[in-house]
Structure 1
Amino acid sequence: MLLLGIDIGTSSIKISVVDADTQACIAATRYPEDQENHILSVIPGWAEQSPDMWWEQTTLAIRKLTAGGTFKPQDVGAIGIAYQMHGLVVVDENGDALRNSIIWCDSRAVEIGETAFEHMGPHHVLERLLNSPGNFTAAKWAWVKANEPDTYAKAHQIMLPGDYIALKLTGSATTSISALSEGVFWDFKANGISKDVVQYFGFNETIFPEIKPLFSEHGTLRNEVAQQLGLKPGIPVSYKAGDQPNNALSLNVLQPGEVAATAGTSGVIYAVSDELVYDPASRVNTFAHVNYTAEEPRTGVLLCINGTGILNRWVKDHFGHGIDYRQMNAIGKAVSPGSNGLKILPFGNGAERILHNRILGARFIDLDFNAHGRSHVFRASQEGIAYAFRYGLDIIRENGMNPSIIRAGQANLFLSELFAEIFVDVTGVPVELYENDGSVGAALGAGIGAGIFNSPQEAFSQLKALKTIEPQTSDYYEGLYQEWKQLLDDQLTQELKNSKNGEPTAS
């Protein structure tokens, strides 16, 4: 049997077809192929994408695969979906999107979420929700209620990006505990939708789709959609998960103490726990993992850095004309560690949770026009991203988790040998790299949900590490990191001072 996986990313839609018997990917594509989707930002700090763009690109990519002749489309027996987390999709009674999705890196609702946190009581909120509403989906929906009353009045349901794609495929709207927890709607103590959140914001509980187990049937492929896509009708959508829980599943990171990482548009470290843990300052966030149950809790403690791969892309766009990423990495690798004193703070993609939801903005520090060229920028950007990972990893360590090894897919920034080496040297933690893709993970997740595999362990029984990267120059990088951290602390102090004086807080 074949399994189809869909990954609704920020930069593109990825589709894979996996043979359930061998767990091998036999066909894959992405859309768009030669560029990346834009993030709409009509006001600084805002970030939106069109749900209908996701759906159109999903259909185009699936049609390309089913028409390619590399497999029999009629052999596809289940569909799984991974998606960018925390985005708000608002639909009417017909299931049509009423507005662009307010996506994960949008910062407009920070004040709304933080005010709610204080009014509901920080200790009470953290014990039950494990997170501040901060800048998550609940606060975004409250922003729509306050600022777009017509949209709020017309709304039939709200959902996450993956829920919307499943709705378009099946006509059924569903959600899961994991999805509701990432929106900060789930009360872990009451094991239900948070009455505190609903009552504080004045939401109607009917706005939420039906709650189903994450590994289960979330609807079946509609006849007209099946015909359009070249698939057979009635195929179940049997798995939906946010991209980071899905990445962890793809790396067989399911048990307490296991840790996954990814470095795409944003950068994430995701540590599994068997406790309802939370960071008192909500700098890292805890959500229900794909295998969470109230009886046997498995939570994912998520460190997110908004400005990682997006910085690397920005650097390539502006300093790397005429070269590809491989060439850019080689040029950067020729520069010595420390980039001849150039330091970069990568926080230029909205409010950063590890910085208490502050919008710091990216910074190039100690740039010398006579001493630095693009090679230094190439290396300093990847060093700055690695330093940000270390900063967040130290917060995870403060919360009692000390990973001895991190698993990551050989994708995105981890395709860069330069970045991978810097990452392990700066964090001091070895990294195991795997042939890994979110859409492949979603396909195998579909096999679990459809009962084709008896367990996640069976679904990923063929997973083998490609290589392990061990730290080599950790002591040297420790000094460089501490210099970078001091610069970050200085910038945060100045930003806080400016905010108290009513001056601009980001550049």
Structure 2
Amino acid sequence: MYLLGYDIGSSSVKVCLIEASSGKIVATDFSPKKEMKIVALNPGWAEQNPYDWWTNLKLAHEAVMHQAQINPEDIKGIGITWQMHGLILVDKDQNLLRSSIIWCDSRAVPYGEKAFQEIGPEKCLSHLLNSPGNFTASKLAWVKENEPEIFEKIDKIMLPGDYIAMKLSGEIGVTVEGLSEGIFWDFKNNCISEDVCNHYGIPRSFFPEIVPTFGIQSTVSKVVAAELGLKEGTPISYRAGDQPNNALSLNVFNPGEIASTAGTSGVVYGVLDKIDYDKLSRVNTFAHVNHTPEDIRLGVLLCINGTGILNSWLKHNFATSLSTYGDMNELASLSPIGSKGLSIVPFGNGAERVLENNEVNCSMHGINFNIHSKGDILRAAQEGIVFSYEYGMDIMRNMGIDINVIRAGNANMFLSSIFRQSLATVSNAVIELYDTDGAAGAARAAGMGIGFYANSEEAFASLEKIAIIEPEHEKRDQYLEAYSSWNGYLKKVM
């Protein structure tokens, strides 16, 4: 028995097939091999054609099935995860009305800011748990005002994963998690937000049927079964946005459990068991994959734009004599904790929500030409990224999230011993590294959705733990002193 996972990213579509009983990956592939095109017709815009996602899904799916050489009838469930916050519009015949306005498109910022003030900051935060911001609802408001001829033709609105499910089954649905990431969900009243709909003038008929995150949402149609070589009626039994799904992939379901990523940008995602929010809206809060009104599970999402991109920038512009990131890490390791008093504030990748949308840029502080070298700068960069995480995690702690264990995939900045040891010690949390990804997690979740796994413990029993990094308690004072110095510089530039 097998389970399929589809991960719809903005760079590529990844497909993973796992054997259900063992949880082992049988085959995996992605398409395209070069990044998918993002169209920017104006500064700050970002669009993709959803049909490109479907085309690349079919290519990656075909490669996986070729690798696996299994009987398609043995595939018993499909899970889907996607790039969050995108807007897809279709007419009554399920035809696309325009390209998708994707997550990194910023054109809707003024619409979200206006809604936040007119609905009321306190009401937005207490009911939506977020400012409407630049999320899906605000993107739809932009379409209404700027493309009224398209708005008039809308039959249904969707998130990217909903579109893929529609292509597979011919049916349109949406989850509460999806509605919450679009800022359409009222958590106090457990329904689609009347405030948002009334403010933006969104007809209720635009919203598809609400389907469960885990469960038989729809099934593969006869036409698509023939096209993909699947069995007609194969259940689509799970879907969620990429950050909740990344947490699921790391077996993060319960209060106090934390998932993290550290690529170009950095994410810390923690689970909360009460309706709460940050009064300054410096973090986002969405329904987690296992949220219900009776058993509250919210995902508090800290996103820091300027993290791994700093390390990448240094490699390509400063440490050009070093061949690999491993070489950079080795040179940085020769510098002591605190980088001899050198601090780097890493926020050089645009406005930061964690800094109340201030754009402070990246800056270096305390450099001394007589004592500092290339290795000190490389270490200060990694420490600065760690300190930005700790700054954000303090906000999460103030919301009631205990951070004792951080789970992450063995990738990107977590490959650096300096980064992970510094993060473990500063946060005083154990870091657990795993060999997993979003597509594999979605496949396991599909097994939960069809009831093959009784619970998350059973679904993730075979999840492979690669390493455990314990805090260095005897060195924590040194790290905290460096963090305090870094925090002081941050306050000066904000």
Aligned to 1:505: none
Q: Cα distance, 1:185 vs. partner?
A: 0.6
- Residues 267 and 302 of structure 2 are in contact (CA less than 8 Å); yes or no, is this contact kept in structure 1? yes
List alignment gaps of at least 5 residues for structure 2.
none
Instruction: Note closer, same or farther for the CA distance 1:410–1:208 as it changes in structure 2 (3 Å cut).
Output: same
Instruction: Note closer, same or farther for the CA distance 1:227–1:348 as it changes in structure 2 (3 Å cut).
Output: farther
Q: Cα distance, 1:396 vs. partner?
A: 0.8
Q: 5 Å matches for 1:155-166?
A: 155-166=154-165
- Residues 67 and 230 of structure 1 are in contact (CA less than 8 Å); yes or no, is this contact kept in structure 2? no
Amino acid aligned to 2:491: D
Aligned to 2:417: 417
- Residues 107 and 350 of structure 1 are in contact (CA less than 8 Å); yes or no, is this contact kept in structure 2? no
Q: 1:279-307 CA distances to partner (integer Å, 9 max, x unpaired)?
A: 11111122111111112211112212233
Q: Cα distance, 1:213 vs. partner?
A: 0.7
Aligned to 1:19: 19
C-alpha distance in 2 between matches for 1:101 and 1:378: 38
C-alpha distance in 2 between matches for 1:205 and 1:378: 52
Aligned to 2:139: 140
In the alignment, does 2:153 pair up with 1:154? yes
C-alpha distance in 2 between matches for 1:247 and 1:218: 21
- Residues 66 and 72 of structure 1 are in contact (CA less than 8 Å); yes or no, is this contact kept in structure 2? no
Aligned to 1:480: 482
Q: 5 Å matches for 1:362-441?
A: 362-363=362-363, 378-441=378-441
C-alpha distance in 1 between matches for 2:174 and 2:3: 21
C-alpha distance in 2 between matches for 1:457 and 1:319: 45
- Residues 105 and 349 of structure 1 are in contact (CA less than 8 Å); yes or no, is this contact kept in structure 2? no
Structure 1 residue ranges, 4+ long, deviating more than 6 angstroms after superposition: 366-374
- Residues 382 and 419 of structure 1 are in contact (CA less than 8 Å); yes or no, is this contact kept in structure 2? yes
C-alpha distance in 1 between matches for 2:174 and 2:263: 25
Instruction: Note closer, same or farther for the CA distance 1:108–1:374 as it changes in structure 2 (3 Å cut).
Output: farther
Identify which range, 302-311 or 246-255, moves more after superposition: 302-311
Q: 5 Å matches for 1:102-501?
A: 102-318=101-317, 323-339=323-339, 343-363=343-363, 378-463=378-463, 465-472=465-472, 473-492=475-494
**SS of corresponding position for 1:276:** coil
C-alpha distance in 1 between matches for 2:309 and 2:51: 23
Instruction: Note closer, same or farther for the CA distance 1:68–1:109 as it changes in structure 2 (3 Å cut).
Output: same
- Residues 89 and 159 of structure 1 are in contact (CA less than 8 Å); yes or no, is this contact kept in structure 2? yes
**SS of corresponding position for 1:112:** helix
CA RMSD in angstroms comes to 2.7
C-alpha distance in 1 between matches for 2:72 and 2:230: 5
Amino acid aligned to 1:185: F
C-alpha distance in 1 between matches for 2:422 and 2:36: 28
Identify which range, 50-59 or 19-28, moves more after superposition: 50-59
Q: 1:148-197 CA distances to partner (integer Å, 9 max, x unpaired)?
A: 33332333322212112222222222111111111111111221100010
Q: Cα distance, 1:324 vs. partner?
A: 4.1
**SS of corresponding position for 2:188:** coil
Identify which range, 288-297 or 69-78, moves more after superposition: 69-78
Instruction: Note closer, same or farther for the CA distance 1:426–1:216 as it changes in structure 2 (3 Å cut).
Output: same
List alignment gaps of at least 5 residues for structure 1.
493-507
Q: Cα distance, 1:387 vs. partner?
A: 1.9
Aligned to 1:2: 2
Identify which range, 325-334 or 86-95, moves more after superposition: 325-334
Identify which range, 96-105 or 373-382, moves more after superposition: 373-382
C-alpha distance in 1 between matches for 2:411 and 2:423: 14
C-alpha distance in 1 between matches for 2:256 and 2:125: 22
C-alpha distance in 2 between matches for 1:341 and 1:169: 56
**SS of corresponding position for 2:29:** strand
C-alpha distance in 2 between matches for 1:371 and 1:98: 60
Instruction: Note closer, same or farther for the CA distance 1:103–1:338 as it changes in structure 2 (3 Å cut).
Output: farther
Instruction: Note closer, same or farther for the CA distance 1:380–1:230 as it changes in structure 2 (3 Å cut).
Output: farther
Q: Cα distance, 1:32 vs. partner?
A: 3.7
C-alpha distance in 1 between matches for 2:295 and 2:243: 20
Amino acid aligned to 1:462: S
**SS of corresponding position for 2:226:** helix
Aligned to 1:500: none
C-alpha distance in 2 between matches for 1:369 and 1:73: 65
Normalising to structure 1: TM-score of the pair? 0.88
- Residues 85 and 102 of structure 2 are in contact (CA less than 8 Å); yes or no, is this contact kept in structure 1? yes
Q: Cα distance, 1:334 vs. partner?
A: 4.2
Q: 1:373-425 CA distances to partner (integer Å, 9 max, x unpaired)?
A: 76556544433322221111011112222212222222333233332123223
Q: Cα distance, 1:445 vs. partner?
A: 0.6
Instruction: Note closer, same or farther for the CA distance 1:13–1:422 as it changes in structure 2 (3 Å cut).
Output: farther
**SS of corresponding position for 1:154:** coil
Q: 1:451-501 CA distances to partner (integer Å, 9 max, x unpaired)?
A: 222222221122353322122233222232233323332222xxxxxxxxx
